[in-house]
Amino acid sequence: MVMSSAMTQGFMVAMALISAFVSLDCVRRSERAPGRQLTSWILVAAVVTGSATWSIGVVGLYGQGLSWPLGYQPLLLFIAWALGVALAYPGWLLGFGRNASISTLFLAAATLTGALVATFSLGLLAPGFRPGLVWDFRAVLTAIGGSVSGLSLALFVIKLGREKYPALWVRTPLAVLLMAGTLSWVHHAWLSAAGLAEQTEAAYAGVLPIQSVLLLATIGVGLLMWLVLVSSFIDSRMSTSLLQAQGRLQEQATTDPLTGLLNRTSFEAQLQDTGDKAQVTQKAFAVLFIDLDGFKPINQSYGFSFGDQVLVEMSQRMRRSLGQPFPLARWGGDEFLLLMDHNVSQESVARVARALIEQLGAKVVIDGREAVLTASVGVAMFPTDGAPSVLIGHADAAARAAKAAGGATYCFFQPSMVQDARDQMELLRDLRIALDRGELELFYQPKVHAPSGQITGAEALLRWNHPVRGLVSPALFVPVAEKFGLINAIGDWAIDEACKQIRQWRDGGLRMRVAVNLSVQQLRQPNLHERVEQALQTHGVNPQLLTCEITESMAMENTEVTKQLFDRLAAIGVHISIDDFGSGYSSLAYLRQLPTEELKIDRSFVLDLETSSDARAVVDAVVKLGQALGLKVVAEGVETEAQYLILRQLGCDELQGYYFAKPMASTMLYLWAMTDDDPKTPQFRQSLFGDTEMAPLQTDRP
Average pLDDT, consecutive stretches of 10 residues, N- to C-terminus, the chain (702 residues): 64 80 78 65 84 80 66 82 88 74 85 87 79 80 88 80 54 82 85 69 64 69 72 65 57 77 89 89 91 84 84 90 86 91 87 92 84 91 90 91 89 82 80 88 91 87 89 84 85 94 89 88 84 93 92 72 84 89 65 83 87 88 88 91 91 91 87 61 56 38 34
Cis peptide before 383 (omega within 30 of 0): yes
Q: What is the pTM of this model?
A: 0.50
Alpha-carbon distance 307 to 295, whole Å? 8
| Phi, psi dihedral angles at 131 (to 5 degrees) | -85, 5
Helices (H), 573-683: 588-593, 603-607, 613-629, 641-650, 666-675
Alpha-carbon distance 645 to 272, whole Å? 66
Q: Where in the chain is the domain with CATH 3.30.70.270?
A: 264-413
Antiparallel, parallel or unpaired: β 374-382 and 285-293: antiparallel
- Cβ–Cβ under 8 Å, residues 89 and 23: no
Kindly state the helix (H) or strand (E) to which residue 336 belongs, with its residue range: strand 335-340
- Cβ–Cβ under 8 Å, residues 116 and 16: no
CATH number of 425-680: 3.20.20.450
At 593 the pLDDT is 77
CATH number of 264-413: 3.30.70.270
Q: How far is CA 638 from CA 296, 579, 642, in A?
A: 34, 15, 9
Q: Which amino acid is at 39?
A: T
Alpha-carbon distance 136 to 117, whole Å? 14
Alpha-carbon distance 288 to 311, whole Å? 17
Q: Where in the chain is the domain with CATH 3.20.20.450?
A: 425-680
- The order of strands in the sheet holding 285-293 is 328-332, 335-340, 285-293, 374-382, 410-412
3-state secondary structure of 597: coil
At 3 the pLDDT is 54
> Following CA atoms 599, 600, 602, 605 in sequence, which dihedral angle do they give, to the nearest 10 degrees?
80
Tell me the CA end-to-end span of the chain in Å, nearest whole number.
120
Kindly calculate the radius of gyration of the chain based on its CA atoms and give it in whole angstroms: 46
At 692 the pLDDT is 40
At 167 the pLDDT is 47
- Cβ–Cβ under 8 Å, residues 26 and 48: yes
At 199 the pLDDT is 57
3-state secondary structure of 581: strand
